[in-house]
């Protein structure tokens, strides 16, 4: 049995683990304190071990797939589609965040589409293994609620608290091991007795997002970069194609940033800086900056107000390949110049990266902090309509304060 998920372009897996990515809990990011998905990794390791003990030694399948195994700089969408197409069982860690976020539900839909396309599959339901990870009060339209609860039959603590609580608390260690072993047995039985085999699966990014309203506030990834030597494909932009780290990255960095934001539950748009307009005024955002392009466009860094007009919640990320000495020097100089222009209030807004691994590691925390800054600092506009008096402890429950002024939008 293979244990190396990266050992081949078309590997097969006993299971694919799908979960709702958590936002880092501290800033600046620190591996020891901001690892919000620590317990997911612990569960993945335990389940992988349990599956390994039950699996036939002669099988060529790898044990499990977790998206963190994807190498930095890889094409995330292609790698996820490849893994979904090679997994025998889709393990979904259901939580309120899983059901409310677009990305994990699109992973679930992508795998289901693959199963639907496999004719002659006798027991397709055996290839989806839902797990109650956190307690859920409203399941919405999810069809496999009963299957998720059935995994914990005769284990009341699982139904009440979810599997993560059983993993975290030593009191429930025996119950946790029982659930993991039960799940491992189901995975191995489905994979070895009724295998799907490798078959095509769409990337989650290609699955339409039907979970959001068109009025949802997007996260804006703005890009200031070279125009590029070749014409930009129709419907795209120079920023959406920018690869500052050349061969080290398969996916343009703006698209990678957008994918991370989507996985964190944020609808996202990638826009060249020239086309951003007033988007940042009402949206959280990040601006990726090429130092050479910034130097050419003096109005951006000349201290004449163009930079200052960006809302204070927009994070500026200077991107320059550290392996290019000239580019690296330009990146360092631009960051210092931006700091001088913005002054002390801008100290936490200006970041710099010099390699693709650093970019990948920083992005979840950077996007999370940019959104927090937007929620803290963006203006709040009350809805139009008649003012509703604020109840008080006196004056018969009616506030005597004047109503707020109505703001046109």
Domains and CATH numbers, the chain: 13-206 (3.40.50), 219-377 (3.40.50)
87-94 sheet: strands from edge to edge: 62-65, 13-18, 87-94, 128-132
Contacts of 113 (CB under 8 A, 6+ apart): 201, 202, 207
Contact in structure between 276 and 241 (CB atoms under 8 Å): no
Q: How far apart are CA 202 and CA 204, in angstroms?
A: 6
Q: How far apart are CA 186 and CA 129, in angstroms?
A: 8
Q: How far apart are CA 363 and CA 194, in angstroms?
A: 40
Phi-psi domain of 347 (left: phi exceeds 0; alpha: psi -120 through 50; beta: other) = alpha
Structure tokens given for 196: 């799907």
Phi, psi dihedral angles at 211 (to 5 degrees): -90, -10
Q: What are the pLDDT tens digits along the chain (409 aa)?
A: 554 444 446 789 999 999 998 766 444 544 444 466 889 999 999 999 999 999 987 678 999 999 989 887 788 889 999 999 999 999 999 998 898 888 899 999 999 999 999 988 878 999 999 999 999 988 877 888 999 999 999 999 999 999 999 999 999 999 999 999 999 999 999 999 999 999 999 999 888 876 654 445 689 999 998 876 555 555 556 778 888 887 777 678 898 898 888 888 888 888 888 888 888 999 999 999 999 888 887 666 655 556 767 898 999 999 999 888 888 898 888 888 888 887 777 778 899 999 888 898 889 889 989 999 999 888 865 555 555 554 444 444 444 444 444 444 3
SS3 132: strand
SS3 188: helix
Structure tokens given for 14: 């006993």
Contact in structure between 294 and 350 (CB atoms under 8 Å): no
Alpha helices in 238-316 (DSSP H): 238-241, 253-263, 273-276, 291-296, 298-301
Phi, psi dihedral angles at 301 (to 5 degrees): -120, 15
pTM confidence score = 0.70
- Would the CA dihedral through 10, 13, 17, 18 be positive or negative? positive
């Amino acid at each position: 049995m293979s244990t190396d998920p990266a050992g081949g372009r078309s590997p097969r897996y006993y299971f694919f683990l799908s979960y709702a990515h958590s936002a880092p809990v501290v800033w600046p990011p620190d591996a020891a304190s901001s690892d919000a998905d620590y317990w997911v990794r612990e569960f993945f390791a335990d389940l992988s071990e349990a599956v390994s003990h039950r699996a036939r030694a002669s099988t060529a399948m790898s044990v499990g797939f977790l998206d963190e195994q994807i190498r930095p700089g890889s094409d995330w969408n292609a790698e996820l589609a490849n893994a979904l197409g090679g997994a025998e069982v889709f393990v979904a860690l259901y939580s309120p965040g899983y059901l409310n976020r677009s990305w994990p539900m699109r992973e679930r839909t992508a795998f289901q589409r693959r199963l639907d396309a496999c004719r002659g599959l006798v027991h397709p339901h055996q290839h989806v293994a839902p797990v109650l990870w956190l307690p859920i009060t409203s399941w919405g339209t999810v069809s496999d609620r009963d299957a998720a609860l059935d995994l914990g039959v005769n284990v009341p603590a699982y139904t009440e608290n979810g599997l993560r609580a059983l993993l975290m608390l030593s009191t429930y260690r025996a119950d946790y091991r029982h659930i993991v072993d039960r799940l491992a047995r189901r995975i191995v039985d489905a994979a070895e007795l009724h295998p799907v085999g490798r078959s095509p699966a769409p990337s989650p990014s290609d699955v339409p997002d039907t979970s959001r309203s068109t009025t949802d506030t997007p996260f804006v990834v703005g890009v200031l970069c070279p125009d590029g030597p070749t014409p930009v494909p129709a419907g795209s932009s120079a920023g959406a194609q920018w690869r500052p780290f050349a061969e080290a990255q398969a996916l343009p960095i703006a698209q990678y940033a957008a994918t991370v934001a989507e996985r964190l539950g944020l609808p996202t748009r990638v826009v060249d800086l020239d086309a951003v307009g007033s988007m940042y005024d009402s949206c959280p955002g990040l601006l990726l900056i090429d130092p050479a392009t910034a130097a050419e466009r003096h109005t951006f860094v000349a201290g004449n107000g163009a930079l200052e007009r960006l809302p204070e919640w927009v994070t500026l990320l200077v991107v320059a390949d550290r392996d290019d000495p000239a580019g690296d020097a330009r990146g360092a100089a631009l960051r210092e110049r931006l700091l001088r222009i913005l002054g002390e209030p801008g100290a936490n807004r200006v970041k710099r990266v010099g390699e693709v691994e650093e970019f990948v590691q920083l992005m979840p925390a950077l996007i999370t902090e940019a959104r927090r800054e937007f929620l803290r600092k963006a203006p709040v506009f009350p809805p139009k309509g008649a003012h509703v008096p604020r109840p008080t402890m006196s004056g018969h429950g009616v506030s005597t304060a004047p109503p707020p002024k109505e703001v046109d939008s």
